[in-house]
Amino acid sequence: MITSCLAELPPLTVEIERSPDGLWTMRLFDKRAGAKVIMPPSEFGLDDAKLKAVVNAQFYMRKHGGDPAWTPPAAVEWHAFSAREVIWET
């Protein structure tokens, strides 16, 4: 079962992650602005969450990202992502 996905929508990276309460949380990282944006979660399936994330990314870029003509790529390639827990010790 996929619990986390990433997609590149230049200049954005979008992350979707399944939370313990069953919602799909979504974050986008704007490389131009150096910003992390927490988007509204999706309570439906993974495919719906991916679609909602792309729509939210377009809204962000047009309203806050400074590019009113921005459109996402015609095909968005999502990659399953499994983060490892890393303990940083000094």
Domain containing 10 equals 4-80
Structural domain contains residue 58: yes
Structural domain contains residue 90: no
Structural domain contains residue 54: yes
pLDDT for the residue numbered 64: 94
Structural domain count, the chain: 1
2 to 10, 45, 50, 54, 71: CA distances (angstroms): 23, 11, 12, 18, 27
pLDDT for the residue numbered 71: 95
Total-model pTM: 0.86
| pLDDT per 10-residue tile (average), the chain, 90 residues | 90 94 94 93 91 96 95 94 79
SS3 (DSSP) at 72? coil
DSSP secondary-structure letter at 85?
A: P
Structural domain contains residue 87: no
